[in-house]
């Protein structure tokens, strides 16, 4: 592995600014790494080698001309394939958008490039971000770089795997119910879901519009802060983005939070939790206690995780989420009609309803169909009050629990997922089991608060462990500083899978 690949995004940015490394060299090294490794990992849907090299050379020219460089100048990054780019395809890993070329850049893609980042390619995902393993991609199943017989998590599995396998310096993904944090946990990288409205969703292909949020996946906490600073901010193109100043996340990062109050979520520390993950959370408690933080037990009764008689995990939050998210998805995905863009059936059809129905039947995968159907059901006449409206009320109860917890705490500590990365194929037969992978992450999206998944070492079988920290709305600065405290004290950072060392 080249030394360049070993640098963090921040380290690389500084090395390029200092003239120690050129952006072209860095980009070339990453493209070579992709060439060598992605056959095994399948993280990318598309690579923009030529374009990336061209952009890198421009950065180098800018630097030698003494011009001011952006915060990410020369840093090669990967972008999830549901974020529109005016170059290449934006497929959402779906057959229905297989040949879709977005006519514009998402705000996040534009911001990355204006900060000088080099977009290497678009990463694989569960189709339309619906899934927790990246197995729902219509094209490829991405492999976990720590063990290629395991899933990378999802839906931002391609972004997480690319960061872990050193096939980009950092990446962006989207998180509707855990889709940044859970794959980050499975792949041993840092994954941050910002507050709803912190990052513009303009050009992010919509799934659950009241839940979706774009965020960074990175090798360490500082890189997450660097990327968040580059992509956050108000955007008039997204009416739900919030007009609030973006703090200098990096500037304060190494300053420990004084008198930090860490809430330990009682309901998430249950019997059903995997032993090694529980031990990781316990260890984090100790680390914070040793750092002088106060540990407060908090209760989120409506996000509670129970185990029923059959041994299955159950939670109000999961039920609530899968009604709200599918209802929003059924409405958002109505736009794929075989008329304006995307797949259209080649069959001769009688009328327009048949055109819609057959194009959609051919273009969508099973999980997407299932969710559209579920959402349509929840919104349909006779069921609306019992399901959709009921879910919105429960969502309020979930949010109230968080509000109460944050009256006494700065951050909350809990697991990310109930287990480490599972085997490919292990959960594909039962959709409900797959939904339960999000049991500790989804209430965060329902409440709109930020959450970060931080690596916590390796399990006995060599798979990454992680813990999750949650913050109050727009408290990313505190959240990142608290995450950094853990990272410094634990010494767990920039984990490198064997597959990279072999390369």
Using CB under 8 A, count the residues that bind another protein: 76
Rounded-to-integer distance, Cα 287 and Cα 292, Å = 9
Residue 392 touches another protein, criterion: CB under 8 A: yes
Nearer to another protein, 320 or 475 (CB): 320
Rounded-to-integer distance, Cα 158 and Cα 191, Å = 13
217: exposed, middle or buried (Cβ count in 10 Å: 0-12, 13-18, 19+):
buried
Residue 246 touches another protein, criterion: CB under 8 A: no
Residue 318 touches another protein, criterion: CB under 8 A: yes
* Single residue of 62, 269, 278, 369 touching another protein by CB under 8 A: 369
Report the site for another protein in 348-367 (rule: CB under 8 A): 349-358, 360-361, 364
Report the site for another protein in 410-469 (rule: CB under 8 A): 431-432, 435, 445-448
| Angle at CA of residue 200, ends 198 and 203, nearest 5° | 155
* Single residue of 104, 286, 289, 307 touching another protein by CB under 8 A: 104
The least CB distance from residue 375 to another protein, in Å, is 8
Of the residues 8, 80, 241, 315, only one is catalytic, namely 80
Residue 443 is a catalytic residue: no
Rounded-to-integer distance, Cα 43 and Cα 167, Å = 9
User: Six-digit token pair at 151?
Assistant: 């899933």
Residue 141 touches another protein, criterion: CB under 8 A: no
Rounded-to-integer distance, Cα 203 and Cα 197, Å = 14
Beta strand pairing status for 213-218 and 190-193? antiparallel
Report the site for another protein in 211-230 (rule: CB under 8 A): 211
Residue 3 touches another protein, criterion: CB under 8 A: no
User: Six-digit token pair at 235?
Assistant: 């955007």
Rounded-to-integer distance, Cα 348 and Cα 340, Å = 18
* Single residue of 161, 473, 485, 499 touching another protein by CB under 8 A: 473
Of the residues 93, 179, 224, 437, only one is catalytic, namely 179
Of the residues 22, 137, 155, 156, only one is catalytic, namely 155
The least CB distance from residue 319 to another protein, in Å, is 5
Alpha helices in 191-315 (DSSP H): 221-231, 275-290
Rounded-to-integer distance, Cα 153 and Cα 434, Å = 10
Nearer to another protein, 293 or 329 (CB): 329
Residue 340 touches another protein, criterion: CB under 8 A: yes
Nearer to another protein, 251 or 352 (CB): 352
Residue 377 touches another protein, criterion: CB under 8 A: yes
404: exposed, middle or buried (Cβ count in 10 Å: 0-12, 13-18, 19+):
middle
Q: Cβ contacts of residue 494 below 8 Å, gap of 6+?
A: 8, 219, 220
Residue 383 touches another protein, criterion: CB under 8 A: yes
Q: Cβ contacts of residue 444 below 8 Å, gap of 6+?
A: 178, 181, 193, 450, 451, 470
Report the site for another protein in 274-313 (rule: CB under 8 A): 302
Nearer to another protein, 144 or 176 (CB): 176
Nearer to another protein, 241 or 459 (CB): 241
Residue 181 touches another protein, criterion: CB under 8 A: no
Residue 80 is a catalytic residue: yes
Site string for another protein, 62-101 (x = CB under 8 A): -------------------------------------xxx
Hey, which residues does 123 pair with through a beta bridge? Answer: 44, 80
Taking residue 261's Cβ as centre, other Cβ atoms within 10 Å add up to 18
- Mind telling me the catalytic residues? 80, 155, 179
């Amino acid at each position: 592995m080249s030394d360049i690949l070993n640098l963090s995004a921040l380290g690389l940015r500084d090395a390029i600014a200092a003239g120690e490394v050129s952006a072209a060299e860095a980009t070339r090294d990453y493209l070579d790494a992709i060439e060598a490794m992605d056959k095994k990992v399948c993280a990318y849907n598309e690579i923009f080698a030529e374009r990336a090299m061209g952009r890198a050379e421009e950065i180098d020219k800018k630097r030698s001309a003494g011009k001011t460089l952006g915060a990410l100048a020369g840093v090669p990054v990967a972008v999830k394939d549901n974020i529109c780019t005016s170059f290449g395809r934006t497929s959402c890993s779906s057959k229905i958008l297989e040949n879709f070329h977005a006519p514009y850049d998402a705000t996040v893609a534009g911001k990355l490039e204006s900060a000088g980042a080099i977009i290497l390619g678009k990463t694989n995902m569960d189709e339309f971000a619906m899934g927790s393993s990246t197995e729902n991609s219509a094209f490829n199943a991405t492999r976990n770089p720590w063990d290629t017989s395991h899933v990378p998590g999802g839906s931002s599995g391609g972004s997480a795997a690319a960061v872990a396998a050193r096939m980009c310096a950092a990446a962006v993904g989207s998180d509707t119910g855990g889709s940044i944090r859970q794959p980050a946990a499975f792949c041993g990288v840092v994954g941050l879901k910002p507050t709803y409205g912190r990052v513009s969703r303009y050009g992010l292909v919509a799934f659950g519009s009241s839940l979706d949020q774009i965020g960074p996946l990175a090798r360490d906490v500082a890189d997450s802060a660097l990327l968040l600073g580059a992509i956050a901010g108000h955007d008039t193109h997204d009416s739900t983005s919030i007009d609030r100043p973006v703090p200098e996340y990096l500037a304060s990062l190494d300053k420990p939070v004084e008198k930090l109050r860490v809430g330990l979520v009682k309901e998430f520390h249950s019997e059903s939790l995997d032993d090694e993950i529980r031990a990781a959370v316990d260890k984090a408690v100790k680390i914070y206690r040793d750092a002088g933080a106060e540990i407060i037990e908090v209760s989120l009764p409506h996000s509670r995780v129970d185990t029923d008689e059959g041994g299955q995990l159950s939670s109000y939050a999961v039920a609530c989420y899968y009604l709200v998210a599918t209802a929003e998805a059924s409405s958002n995905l109505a736009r794929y009609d075989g008329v304006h863009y995307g797949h259209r059936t080649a069959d001769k059809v009688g009328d327009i309803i048949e055109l819609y129905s057959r194009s959609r039947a051919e273009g969508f995968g099973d999980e997407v169909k299932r969710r559209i159907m579920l959402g349509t059901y929840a919104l349909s006449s006779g069921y609306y009050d019992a399901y959709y409206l009921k879910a919105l009320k429960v969502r309020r109860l979930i949010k109230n629990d968080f509000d109460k917890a944050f009256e006494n705490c700065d951050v909350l500590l809990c697991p990310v997922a109930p287990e480490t990365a599972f085997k490919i194929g292990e959960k594909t037969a039962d959709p409900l089991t797959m939904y339960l992978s999000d049991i500790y992450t989804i209430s965060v999206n329902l409440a709109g608060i930020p959450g970060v998944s931080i690596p916590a070492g390796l399990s006995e079988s060599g798979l990454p462990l992680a813990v999750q920290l949650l913050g109050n709305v727009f408290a990313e600065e505190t959240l990142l500083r608290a995450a950094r405290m853990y990272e410094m004290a634990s010494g767990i950072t920039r984990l490198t899978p064997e597959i990279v060392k072999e390369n």
